[in-house]
Amino acid sequence: MQTHTAKRVEIVIEAPLESRLIRALTETGVTGFTILPVHGGSGRSGVWTREGQVGRAGMVSVVCLIKPERLDGLLDAAFSVLEKHIGVVSITDAQVLRAERF
Amino acid sequence: MQTHTAKRVEIVIEAPLESRLIRALTETGVTGFTILPVHGGSGRSGVWTREGQVGRAGMVSVVCLIKPERLDGLLDAAFSVLEKHIGVVSITDAQVLRAERF
Amino acid sequence: MQTHTAKRVEIVIEAPLESRLIRALTETGVTGFTILPVHGGSGRSGVWTREGQVGRAGMVSVVCLIKPERLDGLLDAAFSVLEKHIGVVSITDAQVLRAERF
Amino acid sequence: MQEILSLAGANLISPIILSFALGLAAALARSDLTIPEAVAKGMSIYLLFAIGFKGGVAVSTHGIDQTLVLSLVAGLILSFGLPLIAFALLRVMTGLSNIDAAAVAAHYGSISIVTFVAATSVLQGRLIDSEGYMVAVAAVMEAPAILSALWLVARSGGGGKMEPGLMRELLLNGSIVLLVGAFFIGAITGEQGLAEISPFIVAPFKGVLCLFLLDMGLIAGRGLRQSRGVVGMGAVGFAILMPLVGAMIGLGAGLLVGLSLGGVVLMMTLSASASYIAVPAAMRVALPEANPSVYLTLSLGVTFPFNLTLGIPLYLAVAQIIVGG
Amino acid sequence: MQEILSLAGANLISPIILSFALGLAAALARSDLTIPEAVAKGMSIYLLFAIGFKGGVAVSTHGIDQTLVLSLVAGLILSFGLPLIAFALLRVMTGLSNIDAAAVAAHYGSISIVTFVAATSVLQGRLIDSEGYMVAVAAVMEAPAILSALWLVARSGGGGKMEPGLMRELLLNGSIVLLVGAFFIGAITGEQGLAEISPFIVAPFKGVLCLFLLDMGLIAGRGLRQSRGVVGMGAVGFAILMPLVGAMIGLGAGLLVGLSLGGVVLMMTLSASASYIAVPAAMRVALPEANPSVYLTLSLGVTFPFNLTLGIPLYLAVAQIIVGG
Amino acid sequence: MQEILSLAGANLISPIILSFALGLAAALARSDLTIPEAVAKGMSIYLLFAIGFKGGVAVSTHGIDQTLVLSLVAGLILSFGLPLIAFALLRVMTGLSNIDAAAVAAHYGSISIVTFVAATSVLQGRLIDSEGYMVAVAAVMEAPAILSALWLVARSGGGGKMEPGLMRELLLNGSIVLLVGAFFIGAITGEQGLAEISPFIVAPFKGVLCLFLLDMGLIAGRGLRQSRGVVGMGAVGFAILMPLVGAMIGLGAGLLVGLSLGGVVLMMTLSASASYIAVPAAMRVALPEANPSVYLTLSLGVTFPFNLTLGIPLYLAVAQIIVGG
Ligand SMILES: Nc1ncnc2c1ncn2[C@@H]1O[C@H](COP(=O)(O)O)[C@@H](O)[C@H]1O
Ligand SMILES: Nc1ncnc2c1ncn2[C@@H]1O[C@H](COP(=O)(O)O)[C@@H](O)[C@H]1O
Ligand SMILES: Nc1ncnc2c1ncn2[C@@H]1O[C@H](COP(=O)(O)O)[C@@H](O)[C@H]1O
Ligand code: NA
Ligand code: NA
Ligand code: NA
């Protein structure tokens, strides 16, 4: 089946910043993304879990599939939000169906 | 440690279609997959979130690790369900442990 | 934007083993990981779902981004826990921002 | 008239309505107030179980009068028939495509159980009895409308074939199974069963309903914000006219069947209400080309609040005039 | 006999049992009715907190009689010993492997708190008092059975070594901590504490139990559907025989210890019941080679409904004959 | 003194406090007991809705006396001012960086609604009335402290600029909207509205509060375990001194405004309490460089339990001595 090369960008970011990241992405024209809940994790800032949390605590994972040529714009946007904050960004090469959607 | 090449297929599909996708996958002999909850997202069909939803709304993410040679069969099965619907499919090259399981 | 090569390891493991996996990872110096909830799945051990479960049932997905040279240590640690149990491990090549974090 | 307005007024300042309004306002103001999906689902399970159980108990005490079967049949016919009327109205009043119109029509043939619950609590507030088996009628009305909609689409050659397995999915839909199951449990265990669990399903019922409507308001508000411009004035007009039309037809059905005043009001409410939980999910499977924000905006964003605020008191007033009592 | 059946009958048409049946039927019919994981966990937390608290209050009022310690010891011995009997029976009645048999045995040495709760509510229904500290006995019986099972496996050279850290995990298991903790809170705050929160932990208790059993039924039904053919007739026979054997031994223990009628019935129920929450998770860690669908099908799919429907009334009847009253 | 201790003692053995202690102990012992996020959020929504609604009803019955406006203004001033005092104390007592100190200060200017709820239930227990609109004061005090903290950081040139959109986020924060919204619903529907839903928001309130505090204890315990060594003795001292300072200032404000005994106690409690839900999330946005485990450990791990156990009874005793009654 016909596939097209794309980049899969996974941004693990603090929940309170989610809305800002989405705004930044949308402003650079990235309107396709999927937000996955994150149950817990560990990093330089220590260990955390969602269990029993009431406030907007913890991280969320935002996954974007985009055309390779748009990667830099996305990373700049993401970084502008992430810069001073904890969290990680990873990029993998991917193939997608239905390129017209990206 | 001994690893084996495989494909990682990630299918983001509407929750009401989950059972149909699973059926289609099983029929083509794909019996290994992991279903991740999706909290929200955005695409050509607009923005959505799970928050407060009562019905079977939103999307789910189905991740399949398979032998490369079985990729096409899987994609055909997925596409037969996804065709008229919203959602995205991405494929990445992967390595897996314990090939006997795939 | 400056990126660095890394490995993305995704370990789908039974929830009751989560704490053991984390311990094993930490002991080999892997202190960065993200735990994603898993809603259900299927494999050689059959089909399962989280719906309505009360006990610590089902699987969780642990995602680690690490420097390539540390991959083997991580896989050994993961395998020491996973060995006799169900679950899958997949590795993909990735690029990360902010290498200093890994 | 006077009377209707005062009732509507009294109805408007109930905690239930105001909770919905709060949710609506919060969402429109883009507050981050949300109710977790699991909690919302839990509340809807509670409401379905409670309303079904109480209906069953009512049947076990008042016994089954001969109108039971007639009412169920009437419900079936209404659910099958109302979409045709809705479809015709939509063709006249809006520029919606065949498929969108059919999808919307399906929602108005089906029912909103929360609207039904709100009507029962208005009746209770005025000490008006109603047939317990009306919850069974509600259950019966959920699915048939979907078939009519699919037929409407197929007729106009727009695909919408009856997907295999869809039928049993509709009939074994979680909310129907729970509502009907609880109804039978209530009917079997009767007053004694009710006595055992009424501190759970009766006493806190209205309070839970408030939080549930808060959530409904949040979802409706979010939907309205996102669907600005998606629905035209004509469609909005339909979403207010159709409930009135449905209620009048429901009134006729209720009188024909010979329901009590309360029963007639509930039959009117069921006919006037539009689904926004079961049918939307079914439409995603059966009519994926139909635009969700159209039917969700109309059923949850317009018709639901209309029925909640003005509709129900109006239906009650009309029924009182005609049925008397 | 007559008497037993009538009680069993009365027991069968209680909302609690029927809710379980509804869940079972819905799952077997492949309805998409589900209860969110978080809601199910929330209900179990509520039930554990309430049952523990009430037990503590009972102790604070009736005081601690000398049988308390004896009962705890009896519970320990039963939990350690029952798996050995279960294992022997399984070797005779089924073709299960050593490891599967040991894993199943662990479940029957441990307890099902919901079965315990159902028994207490049957006792309440018939106004039969019971020792409040029986919940402490229940807590004590949860873990030891697992050690016996591991010993059985080790003995037959099948691995199953006592994993480091597993022991404290078992003892600090969330449900044990909550049950025991609530027990102490109840014992400390007594009647006054109960008065403060009884509208929460007493009044709605049975209603919550209904929804919880609906969920149990859904899970049991799903399990039965998937494990068709996994368990043979012999295993099913065991899952019905073992509770009877356990109950008889529990009866002996209760009489030896000198418990009241109610206490004896609860001791019988605890011995007869099989775990399906704590032990399965522990087995995944300690005996990963054991097949989960075997032990889950037997404990949740067969023994749990058996105890709920026929077992408890039977144990009560037998206890009444022997203890009198 | 005698009197204070006995009250503190009585307060300590309430189910509410003991539930918190249980959670704390379970987490410190590394039990796997947890409450699902959705359930915890659901309980906090319930508590905010109930407390807001009841406050509104109180206002609708006792009417609005002229002190209402004064109290709101006092609340604003306290929320703006307390962080400055807290900051000064932190600079003296601890080696925290400017940014960490400012972040901590923000928490102590804001409020903990659960501490407020605990205080109201202590007042109810001793049949002491309080102004219903104190919940509105609580709402008013949530956000301003954050601005003071940002100003403190900006002043010392440490960035912390007022992020665009943050302001409206703070004011439309879910918990504020729900608290204020429920307050107005209660004020509008009054006693009649309360009668409709009191079996939901009044009767089970304390029980839900127990489970919620169990969860708070679990989180606090987890935090303490992970932040060993992160906070020094000086910081801990601050977390106990600051509530006392805050309470004294709150006392003064309450007297100036002319609140009743109950109102004064609540004003003291609000001033003494530290936020651990709304402010931490805001700090992650506005002061990402500040270390969360510092402010969470102090506000949730030290100040919250201190207020819950010793603080509230102390404030009540002091207020009684000064206000009399
Ligand atoms: N190496 C990693 N692999 C996967 N997730 C990570 C990694 N490092 C950090 N994270 C996630 O990002 C969050 C913040 O990390 P940090 O900024 O290192 O404190 C952690 O809690 C994890 O959820
Ligand atoms: N480019 C993308 N990257 C990641 N997820 C996407 C993307 N586009 C769409 N999605 C997901 O698929 C859903 C449907 O997308 P669409 O079919 O474009 O409306 C969205 O709500 C997202 O959850
Ligand atoms: N091929 C696969 N792709 C993705 N996930 C899998 C695959 N095989 C197994 N899993 C996940 O691992 C769990 C245990 O698999 P198994 O060990 O094959 O029983 C399944 O329930 C799935 O959640
Ligand atoms: Na209708
Ligand atoms: Na047992
Ligand atoms: Na304060």
D and C touching (3 or more beta-carbon pairs closer than 8 Å): no
Atom 9 of ligand 3, nearest CA residue: C43
* DSSP structural state of residue B15: G
DSSP single-letter state for residue E110: S
Amino acid at F316: L
pLDDT for F74: 97
3-state secondary structure labels for all residues of chain A: CCCEEEEEEEEEEEHHHHHHHHHHHHHCCCCCEEEEECCEEEECCEEEECCCCCCCCCEEEEEEEECHHHHHHHHHHHHHHHCCCCEEEEEEEEEECCHHHC
Q: In whole angstroms, what is the distance from residue A1 CA to residue B79 CA?
A: 9
CA–CA dist D12, F134 (Å, integer): 27
Q: What is the mean pLDDT of residues D22-29?
A: 97
Q: Are D8 and D313 in contact (CB under 8 A)?
A: yes
Q: Which residues surround ligand 4, an ion (CB under 5 A)?
A: D 111, 273
Q: D13: nearest CA in chain F?
A: F189
- Distance, CA of F169 to CA of F27 (rounded, Å): 32
CA D262, D268, D273, D277 dihedral sign is positive
C11 pocket-lining for ligand 1 (C-beta < 6 Å): no
- E230-244: pLDDT as tens digits: 889 999 999 999 999
Chain E residue whose CA is closest to D200: E204
Tens of pLDDT, residue by residue over B44-96, are 988 999 999 988 888 999 999 999 999 999 999 999 999 889 999 999 999 99
The verdict on a CB contact (< 8 Å) between D37 and B55 is no
User: What's the pLDDT at E1?
Assistant: 63
In this complex, do C90 and B94 lie within 8 Å of one another by their Cβ atoms? yes
- Hey, are the CB atoms on D188 and E36 less than 8 Å from each other? no
Mean pLDDT of chain C: 93
pTM, entire model? 0.96
Integer angstrom CA distances of residue D86 from B38, D238, D271, D277, E41: 35, 8, 11, 19, 43
- Identify the pLDDT of residue F229: 78
Query: Rounded mean pLDDT of C75-81?
Result: 93
Q: Is the pLDDT of residue D175 over 70?
A: yes
| pLDDT tens-place string over residues B1-28 | 889 999 999 999 999 999 999 999 999 9
The gap from C-alpha F93 to its chain's centroid, in whole angstroms, comes to 23
**Using CA atoms, how far apart are residues C88 and C72, in angstroms rounded to an integer?**
16
Report the neighbours of E using a cutoff of 3 or more CB pairs below 8 angstroms: C, D, F
| D contact residues 8-47, partner E, Cβ 8 Å cutoff | 36-39, 41-42, 45-46
Report the range of poorest mean pLDDT among D100-109, D166-175, D207-216.
D166-175
Residues of chain C above pLDDT 90, percent = 81
Summary mean pLDDT of chain F: 93
**Per-residue pLDDT tens over the stretch D38-82:** 999 999 999 999 999 999 999 998 877 788 999 999 999 999 999
pLDDT in tens, E14-26: 999 999 999 999 9
CB contact under 8 A, D31 and F173: yes
Decide if pLDDT at A56 tops 90: no
- pLDDT band for position D34 (50/70/90)? very high
pLDDT higher than threshold 70 for residue D17: yes
**D200 membership: H or E segment, kind and range:** helix D174-201
C-alpha radius of gyration, chain B, whole number: 14
Asked if pLDDT for residue D158 goes beyond 70, the answer is no
F5, pLDDT greater than 90: no
Ramachandran angles phi, psi of E84, nearest 5°: -65, -45
Q: Quick one: pLDDT at residue D65? A: 77
Cα–Cα distance for residue pair B100/B92, rounded to 1 Å: 20
pLDDT at residue D160 tops 60: no
Report CA-CA distances (Å) from C39 to B63, C47, F279: 11, 11, 32
Tell me the pLDDT tens digit for each residue of D264-294: 999 999 999 999 988 999 999 899 999 999 9
Say whether F215 and A47 touch across the interface (CB within 8 A): no
The answer, yes or no, to whether residue E157 has pLDDT greater than 80, is no
Q: Which carries the bigger pLDDT value, residue D159 or residue E66?
A: E66
Burial category of E307 from C-beta neighbours within 10 Å (exposed 0-12, middle 13-18, buried 19 and up):
buried
Task: Report which of E32, D284, B27 is spatially closest to residue C49, judged by C-alpha positions.
Answer: E32
Which subunits have 3 or more CB–CB pairs within 8 Å of chain D?
B, E, F
Report percent pLDDT > 90 for chain E. 83
Rounded mean pLDDT of chain D?
A: 93
Q: Give the D window 146-185 contacts with E, CB below 8 Å.
A: 168-169, 172-175, 177-178, 181-182, 184-185
Percent of chain F with pLDDT strictly greater than 90: 82
Q: What is the mean pLDDT of chain A?
A: 93
- CB within 8 Å: C84 and E293: no
Give Rg (Cα) of chain C: 14
Calculate how far, in angstroms, residue F84's C-alpha sits from the geometric centre of ligand 1: 34
Measured from the Cα of C42, ligand 3's closest atom is: 21
Render pLDDT for E162-198 as a digit per residue (tens, 0 to 9): 677 788 888 899 999 999 999 999 999 999 999 999 9
Task: Check pLDDT > 60 for residue F206.
Answer: yes
- pLDDT value for E305: 96
**Phi/psi at F72 (nearest 5 deg)?**
-65, -45
Residues of A in contact with C60 (CB under 8 A): 39
The pLDDT of residue F156 is: 80
Q: Are strands A4-14 and A87-96 parallel, antiparallel or unpaired?
A: antiparallel
* pLDDT tops 80 at residue D163: no
Given a cut of 80, is residue D4 above it in pLDDT? no
What's the DSSP call for residue D143?
S
Rounded alpha-carbon distances, angstroms, from residue F133 to D23, F16, F65, F140: 22, 24, 10, 11
Residue nearest to atom 1 of ligand 3 (CA): B32
Nearest CA to ligand 2 atom 6: A33
How far apart, in whole angstroms, are the C-alpha atoms of residue B51 and residue E173?
A: 31
Closest ligand 2 atom to Cα of B38: 23
Check residue E168 and give its pLDDT: 85
Chain position carrying tokens 């097209």 = A4
Residues A72-82 pLDDT 10s: 999 999 999 99
- Report ipTM for this prediction: 0.96
Residue C55 pLDDT class (50, 70, 90 cuts)? confident
Pocket test for ligand 2, best of B39, B82, B88, B89 (most atoms within 8 A of CB): B88
- The Cα D43–Cα D215 span in angstroms is 10
Give D117 Cα–ligand 4 centroid separation in angstroms: 14
- Residue numbers in F near A47 (CB within 8 A): 226
For the stretch F74-130, pLDDT in tens is 999 999 999 999 999 999 999 999 999 999 999 999 999 999 999 999 999 899 999
Physical contact, A and E (3 or more Cβ pairs within 8 A): no
Contact F36 A53 (CB under 8 A): no
Q: Where are the alpha helices (DSSP H) in F63-143?
A: 67-93, 98-109, 113-125, 134-142
Please give the pLDDT value at position E37.
96
Ligand 2 pocket check for A34: Cβ under 6 Å: yes
> What band does E161 get if pLDDT is binned at 50, 70 and 90?
low
Check pLDDT > 80 for residue F312.
yes
Please answer whether residues F313 and F4 qualify as being in contact, where contact means their C-beta atoms are separated by less than 8 angstroms.
Answer: yes
Q: Which of C1, C60, C96 sits opposite A90 (nearest CB)?
A: C96
Asked if chain F contacts chain A via 3 or more Cβ pairs within 8 Å, the reply is yes
A84 C-beta closer than 6 A to ligand 2: no
3-class DSSP assignment, residue E85:
helix
Grade residue F162 by pLDDT with cuts at 50, 70 and 90.
low
pLDDT tens string F163-197: 777 888 888 999 999 999 999 999 999 999 999 99
Inspect the interface and report whether the beta carbons of A88 and C94 lie closer than 8 Å.
Answer: no
